[in-house]
Amino acid sequence: MAPRVRAPELPQNFTWLNTDRPLSLKELKGRIVILDFWTYCCINCLHVLPDLKYLEQKYKDTLTVIGVHSAKFDNEQEIENIRQAILRYDIEHPVIVDQNFQIWQQYAVRAWPTLVIIDPETYCVSSASGEGNRDALDDLISQIIQAHQEHGTLNFQEFSTNLEKQKTPLNTPLAFPGKVLADGEGNRLFIADTGHHRIIISTLEGELLHIIGNGKSGLTDGDFTQAQFFAPQGMALDEEQQILYIADTENHTLRQIDLKNQQVKTIAGTGEQGHYIRPHSGQALETALNSPWDLEKIGNSIYIAMAGPHQIWEMELETNIIRTYAGTGAEGCVDGSLSNSAFAQPSGITSDRRELYIADSEISSIRAVGLADLQEVRTVCGSGELFGFGDVDGIASEVRLQHCLGVKYIPDYLWIADTYNHKIKRVDPHIGKCQTMLGDGIPGHQDGQGKNSRFFEPSGLSAAGFLLFIADTNNHVIRRVELDTLKVTTMEFPNLCAPDVCIPKTIV
């Protein structure tokens, strides 16, 4: 029999969040502990969170989950940024900030996410990498409980925490808006109010027109007041039919909003996360999707940045067939044919109608995907490497971005939300020349002109005429930019409130 391995003690001098004091395995003796090694950029880490929440609630008397945040990107090492991620993803267990991968190395972790299971006698009994391990963990926890009940080594008690959301409740009118879509012809601005699980429609000046969704996370079709979303992100508009399409990210679905009749319905996905390893095709409502993050409508097709399987998908609206358009499902950067290409958590999509342009976030690069006769994938700019990030303007492979989430084609350039650099950049899609246009790179909230402005993890952007609109995610606001002067201002929405905080006075 292999020797049992005692779990290394957790550092007491590191920063702890979601708790009012450092925790030790010694004081948690008698409880089962799961260490979740994660980094907040990682889509696979985000997919594990619902499993952990399920287990935490089921075994609240015997199980403690501790998140060990071992940052991939430079930006993810900042304490305030981690705190914002805890708020954004409603994490309710303690989190320790792993300095320089010290805990990671102590536990011999090799990949995000990794779960380490520690028994009530503080021995490591198992580990699991990747996602999709909920049932196996559930069974293991049950077995550990049974074994330790027989030996009297369980400590039955409910564990209390001091959550970040309790310390500083988020009551802003918008919460972590992820994407924004401007409709110049209709004088409308569509906002994915991601943290409030709803869609906001205003004029381009900020006059509130509609609130779609009741502010509670869920998957419910119906009228604007009944509908429920779960962390919606990207949107696409059919102006002629007055239909708005939504990437309902954490529901793993596509939703359709009939703007004339004020009705919401699900058009793709089952509500469960899909786990297809290879390219797939099927009826839209019978096909499980995996974290659709952004949308682009071209003709009768919707193209989808499907972050979970690292692919680009297409839904044909006439046939309701949904299928993989590009990407093998392997995470990486492979150019060439559509069927042999590889992406890494694509999170933004736009088009000039010749190519799709992708914000490929985990490799901090902008990719181009051919339409019609092109049928090829190429890297426009960025290193194309999982750890090839930074903040360098230049041309093509010289360019360094940091977890870019948003991209918008505005003739004849691509405008990029370089999220973790807190900047907006502009790229020539033909030669890959990239230059910073907005933001000084310091996370914050400051109006101004050009590089004299400040953003905090901007994630989405859209344009109408000479106006650029930016979802400034961690500032919980929408910024408006005059493209001829690069003047940045923060939009006001006078009648918009957080759900359950106040009732809008008037909605046109």
Across residues 406-417, what is the average pLDDT?
97
Compute the 3-state secondary structure of the chain and give helix, strand, coil in percent, each to the nearest 5. Answer: 15, 40, 45
In the predicted structure, residue 335 carries a pLDDT above the cut 90:
yes
What counts of helices (H) and strands (E) characterise the chain?
Answer: 5, 36
Place 1 in a pLDDT band, splitting at 50, 70 and 90: very low
What's 386's DSSP letter? T
393: nearest Cα among 369, 418, 363: 418
Residue 202 corresponds to which amino acid? S
CA distance 198 to 43: 21
- φ/ψ (deg, to 5) at 412: -115, 40
CA distance 260 to 459: 29
Q: Give the rounded distance of the alpha carbon of 382 from its chain centre.
A: 20
pLDDT of residue 277: 77
Using DSSP's 3-state secondary structure scheme, residue 338 falls into helix
Q: What percentage of the chain exceeds 90 in pLDDT?
A: 92
CA distance 38 to 348: 22
What's 228's DSSP letter? B
Place 507 in a pLDDT band, splitting at 50, 70 and 90: very low
Across residues 435-451, what is the average pLDDT?
98
Q: What percentage of the chain exceeds 70 in pLDDT?
A: 98
Place 200 in a pLDDT band, splitting at 50, 70 and 90: very high
Q: Give the rounded distance of the alpha carbon of 378 from its chain centre.
A: 24
Contact indicator for 429, 435 with CB cutoff of 8 Å: no
